[in-house]
């Protein structure tokens, strides 16, 4: 229709598959571009801009911030608390995402493969529940679980009076986030395992391969791409996750202050909006670098 | 090398399907054994139960006289080739072939020796470095066979080994497979739904239906003397004529030649048609060996198209008379369908001797080739020794 009527109006016929022409096609995507621009691109660019100012929450600089160049970034390079936050984020990502969620998710998927559908669906429902509950609700449950007085964990272990969130804050966060995020890995690996032809697993079984040999020689080569994709996604989500704040607020004494929590504390407790924006930008760059490495690994597979 | 003994074997799936239903079977040492039957009759399940991939619900499986019913598949000394070959796509041919050895932690040097030796045996030289995706279907199949052989099992199990090949390659692979089995002398059980394949390859055939054994015998026996109408229907590239009939005389037919040799009517080896009984069928009659069924009993008459002869002139003695309806070219033969008093009868004739449609013809058959089945149960009626004249 469009391409038939277009020449009559003196325009070149549309060459695209849908026959829309560039103008109308742009018209269709414009609302999406507007929304993305307003809520994604603009804040990102604004963050970069604030990052080179001395903008503060209160005081003179809140009214008339001035450009300070890269001094926020040089400050970050020498900021021991920022280094601490980076290290804790690395521990958090390694412990709860790359190791915790990945391995627990895969193990669950591997076991569920052979169980009865009823059992499988029940387990999946419970694991998914951890994934879909709002962070605040979940955080409240875990604070109650770890609580010093009358906490469930102390009740279970008979260790009344142990303040888990104060004595072992990072370990608590790793366990919490492993629990919270495993559902995604489990679901992803469940569907990935369906792509392994059963006859190949049975071939391995026929020649007497052990469970570990089967995983290494048959299963893993088939799901390598899935492992990489899953690890990329959960690493990024975990690195940017703010829910540690809901459990420990970064404390005690910065012992569980991951980068997102540090950014929040710098911006809203310290009031240094310019400096926190600079750190946000550094986190963004780190995310980008990690993504690039993963994408390269993924591409090398094919 | 080892034989397989199966006793009272049943395999029931969780959904309640009795895919193998009380089977007794003996496969001799070094035998090439076929499991034949229509799709869904439980052949694959039986093979998988022998392999240990499905747990037997009842009965026992013995390999080399050792009860392996509850033994892990990897410890039974059984190698299996799957219908889709199940080659590992990320390993090259050499790694695929020697994977059974890798699992057993055999040294790499020994492994590459085995790889090149086995590859030589299966004409895969020069392909050792390729990935399965870079091989033709026939080559993939040989790699799968090579892997099974390299695992040095006592028994080789093949699930529809030829079904994934195109028609031309299938004939080639069939010959190859038979020669390989002869050379290795390994006890081999293979599954097929193609009766021609089973007839061509196997030393013995087990015909299955609904998880049960319907006939066990050499290809010749199964082809020439199916013991029931199910097998009669299933075996043969042109289906056997199974026609409703009536016993007209159980022995000593007037005008029919007297038997000159009593054994000829017994084993069907002699061509002299010693008609000692008679069945009326399709408006005519055919001779049949003596049997105990009373005169007048309803029977199903089975006669292969290959064993019927077309006589265009006048025929004396028992024959079917009818009009040619259609002739189908089968290559060196044609399948001619004849309308005999409303019943369609198939008969094969040599090429270029097909009577034209509309021609009146008479069909005759030697008594030894006419099989009688019980009208209700479909079981072959036992012949009786012909009375000595
Ligand atoms: N995993 C399974 N679960 C339940 N029923 C099955 C399963 N596999 C096969 N069956 C059923 O068992 C019967 C025999 O199947 P199968 O052994 O594959 O037959 P064949 O190989 O002779 O075609 C069929 O009725 C089929 O539907
Ligand atoms: Mg099958």
pTM summary value: 0.80
Q: 3-class DSSP state for residue B309?
A: strand
Structure-block tokens of residue A133:
């509950």
Q: 3-class DSSP state for residue B25?
A: strand
Specify the pLDDT at position B252. Answer: 57
Ligand 1 site-directed mutation target among B45, B47, B195, B213, most atoms within 8 Å of CB: B45
**Which residue has the CA at smallest separation from atom 4 of ligand 1?**
B13
Taking a C-beta distance cutoff of 8 angstroms, is the pair B357, B325 a contact?
yes
Q: Quick one: fold of A71-301?
A: MetI-like fold (1.10.3720)
Using the predicted structure, report yes or no on whether residue B40 has a pLDDT greater than 50.
yes
**From the list B74, B88, B151, which residue is nearest A218 (CB)?**
B88
Nearest CA in chain B to A301: B90
List per-residue pLDDT tens for chain A, 302 residues long. Answer: 444 444 445 566 667 777 778 888 899 899 999 999 999 899 889 888 988 888 888 887 777 788 888 888 888 888 999 999 999 999 999 999 999 999 999 999 999 888 888 998 898 888 888 888 998 999 999 999 998 888 888 888 888 888 888 899 999 999 999 999 999 999 999 999 998 999 999 999 999 999 999 999 999 999 988 999 999 999 999 999 999 999 998 878 889 999 999 999 998 888 888 899 999 999 999 999 999 998 888 887 65
Q: Which domains does chain B have, with CATH numbers?
A: 4-230 (3.40.50.300), 240-374 (2.40.50.140)
**Which residue has the CA at smallest separation from atom 17 of ligand 1?**
B42
Taking a C-beta distance cutoff of 8 angstroms, is the pair B277, B290 a contact?
yes
* Chain A stretch 194-233, residues whose beta carbon is closer than 8 A to a beta carbon of chain B: 197, 199-200, 202-210, 213, 217-218, 221-222
Determine the Cα–Cα distance for residues A98 and B57; give it in Å rounded to an integer.
43
Specify the pLDDT at position B166. Answer: 84
H or E element: which one contains B57?
none
DSSP state, residue A150: T
Specify the pLDDT at position A12. Answer: 62
Mean pLDDT of B213-227: 93
Taking a C-beta distance cutoff of 8 angstroms, is the pair B286, B303 a contact?
yes
The rounded percent of chain B whose pLDDT value lies above 90 is 53
Determine the Cα–Cα distance for residues A138 and A1; give it in Å rounded to an integer.
54
Q: 3-class DSSP state for residue A58?
A: coil
Whether residue A208 and residue B72 make contact (CB cut-off 8 A), yes or no, is: yes
The model's confidence at residue B263, banded by pLDDT at 50, 70 and 90, is: very low
Rg (CA), chain B: 25
Nearest to B189 by CA among B148, B212, B156, B152: B156
B219 CB less than 6 Å from ligand 1?
Answer: no
Question: At A99, phi and psi to the nearest 5?
Answer: -95, -55
Quick one: which atom of ligand 1 is closest to the CA of B159?
21
Using the predicted structure, report yes or no on whether residue B50 has a pLDDT greater than 60.
yes
Specify the pLDDT at position B251. Answer: 64
Rg (CA), chain A: 25
Specify the pLDDT at position B253. Answer: 53
Taking a C-beta distance cutoff of 8 angstroms, is the pair A210, A129 a contact?
no
Specify the pLDDT at position A302. Answer: 57
Q: 3-class DSSP state for residue B363?
A: strand
Specify the pLDDT at position A85. Answer: 93
Specify the pLDDT at position A115. Answer: 87
Whether residue B88 and residue A209 make contact (CB cut-off 8 A), yes or no, is: no
**Which residue has the CA at smallest separation from atom 26 of ligand 1?**
B40
Within a 10 A sphere around the Cβ of A20, how many other Cβ atoms? Answer: 15
The model's confidence at residue B264, banded by pLDDT at 50, 70 and 90, is: very low
Cα–chain center distance at B19: 19
Determine the Cα–Cα distance for residues B376 and B368; give it in Å rounded to an integer.
22
Mean pLDDT of B43-63: 94
Structure-block tokens of residue A243:
């829910």
Whether residue B83 and residue A204 make contact (CB cut-off 8 A), yes or no, is: no
Give B152's contacts in chain A (Cβ within 8 Å). none
B235 CB less than 6 Å from ligand 1?
Answer: no
Listing DSSP states for B82-130 in one string gives: -TT----TTS-HHHHHTHHHHHTT--HHHHHHHHHHHHHHTT-TT-TT-
Q: What angle do CA A191, A192, A194 make, to 5 degrees?
A: 65
Ligand in closest contact with the CA of B82: 2
Give A209's contacts in chain B (Cβ within 8 Å). 74, 103
The per-residue pLDDT for range A29-78, each reduced to its tens digit, is 999 999 999 998 998 898 889 888 888 888 877 777 888 888 888 888 88
Specify the pLDDT at position A178. Answer: 94
Specify the pLDDT at position B256. Answer: 43
Using the predicted structure, report yes or no on whether residue B261 has a pLDDT greater than 70.
no
Specify the pLDDT at position A3. Answer: 45
Between β-strands B212-217 and B241-249, what pairing exists: parallel, antiparallel or unpaired?
Answer: unpaired
Using the predicted structure, report yes or no on whether residue B270 has a pLDDT greater than 70.
no
**From the list A206, A209, A221, which residue is nearest B51 (CB)?**
A206
Specify the pLDDT at position B8. Answer: 93
Taking a C-beta distance cutoff of 8 angstroms, is the pair B208, B35 a contact?
yes
Taking a C-beta distance cutoff of 8 angstroms, is the pair B156, B149 a contact?
yes
Q: Where are the domains of chain A?
A: 2-51, 71-301
A210: left (phi over 0), alpha (psi -120 to 50) or beta: beta
**From the list A208, A217, A218, which residue is nearest B74 (CB)?**
A208
The Cα of B197 is separated from the nearest Cα of chain A by a number of Å equal to: 23
The per-residue pLDDT for range B309-352, each reduced to its tens digit, is 988 667 777 888 899 999 999 888 999 999 998 889 999 999 88
């Amino acid at each position: 229709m469009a391409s038939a009527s277009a020449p009559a109006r003196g325009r070149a016929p549309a060459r695209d598959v849908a026959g829309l022409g560039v103008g109308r096609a742009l018209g269709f995507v414009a609302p999406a571009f507007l929304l993305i621009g307003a809520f994604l691109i603009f804040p990102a660019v604004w963050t970069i801009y604030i990052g080179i100012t001395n903008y503060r929450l209160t005081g003179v600089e809140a009214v008339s911030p001035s450009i300070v160049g890269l001094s926020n970034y040089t400050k970050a390079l020498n900021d021991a608390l920022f280094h601490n936050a980076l290290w804790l984020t690395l521990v958090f990502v390694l412990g709860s995402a790359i190791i915790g969620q990945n391995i627990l998710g895969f193990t669950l998927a591997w076991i569920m493969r052979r169980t009865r559908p009823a059992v499988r669906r029940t387990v999946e429902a419970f694991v998914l529940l951890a994934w879909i509950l709002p962070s605040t609700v979940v955080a409240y449950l875990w604070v109650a679980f770890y609580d010093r007085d009358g906490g469930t964990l102390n009740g279970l272990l008979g260790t009344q009076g142990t303040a888990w969130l104060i004595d072992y804050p990072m370990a608590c966060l790793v366990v919490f986030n492993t629990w919270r995020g495993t559902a995604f890995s489990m679901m992803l690996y469940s569907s990935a395992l369906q792509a392994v032809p059963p006859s190949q697993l049975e071939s391995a079984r026929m020649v007497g391969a052990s469970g570990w040999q089967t995983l290494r020689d048959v299963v893993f080569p088939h799901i390598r791409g899935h492992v990489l994709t899953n690890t990329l996604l959960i690493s990024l989500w975990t690195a940017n996750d703010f829910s540690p704040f809901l459990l420990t607020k970064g404390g005690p004494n910065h012992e569980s202050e991951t980068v997102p929590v540090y950014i929040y504390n710098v911006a809203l407790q310290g009031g240094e909006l310019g400096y926190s924006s600079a750190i946000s930008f550094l986190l963004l760059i780190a995310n980008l670098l990690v993504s690039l490495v993963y994408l390269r690994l993924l591409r090398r597979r094919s | 090398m080892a034989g397989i003994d199966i006793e009272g074997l049943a395999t029931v799936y969780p959904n309640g399907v009795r895919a193998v239903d009380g089977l007794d079977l003996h496969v001799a040492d070094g035998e090439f054994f076929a499991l034949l039957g229509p799709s869904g009759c439980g052949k694959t399940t039986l093979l998988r139960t022998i392999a240990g991939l499905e747990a037997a619900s009842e009965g026992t499986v013995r390999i080399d006289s050792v009860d392996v019913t509850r033994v892990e598949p990897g410890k039974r000394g059984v190698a299996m080739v799957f219908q889709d070959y199940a080659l590992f796509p990320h390993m090259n041919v050499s790694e695929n072939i020697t994977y059974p050895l890798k699992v057993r932690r055999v040294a790499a040097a020994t492994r590459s020796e085995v790889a090149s030796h086995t590859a030589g045996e299966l004409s895969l030289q020069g392909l050792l470095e390729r990935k399965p995706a870079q091989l033709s279907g026939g080559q993939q199949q040989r790699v799968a066979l090579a892997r099974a052989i390299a695992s040095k099992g006592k028994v080789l199990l093949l699930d529809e080994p030829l079904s994934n090949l195109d028609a031309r390659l299938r004939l080639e692979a069939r010959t190859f497979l038979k020669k390989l089995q002869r050379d290795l002398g390994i006890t081999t059980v293979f599954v097929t739904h193609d009766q021609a394949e089973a007839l061509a390859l196997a030393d013995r055939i087990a015909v299955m239906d609904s998880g049960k054994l319907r006939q066990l015998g050499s290809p010749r026996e199964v082809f020439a003397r199916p013991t029931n109408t199910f097998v009669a229907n299933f075996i043969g590239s042109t289906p056997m004529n199974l026609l409703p009939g009536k016993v007209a005389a159980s022995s000593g037919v007037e005008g029919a030649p007297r038997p000159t040799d009593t054994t000829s009517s017994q084993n069907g080896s002699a061509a002299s048609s010693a008609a000692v009984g008679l069945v009326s069928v399709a408006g005519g009659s055919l001779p049949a060996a003596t049997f105990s069924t009373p005169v007048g009993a309803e029977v199903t008459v089975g006669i292969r198209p290959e064993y019927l002869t077309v006589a265009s002139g006048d025929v004396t003695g028992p024959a079917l008379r009818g009009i040619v309806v259609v002739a189908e070219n089968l290559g060196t033969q044609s399948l001619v369908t004849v309308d005999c008093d409303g019943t369609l009868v198939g008969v094969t004739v040599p090429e270029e001797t097909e009577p034209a449609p509309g021609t009146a013809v008479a069909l005759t058959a030697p008594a030894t080739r006419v099989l009688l089945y019980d009208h209700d149960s479909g079981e072959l009626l036992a012949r009786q020794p012909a009375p000595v004249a």
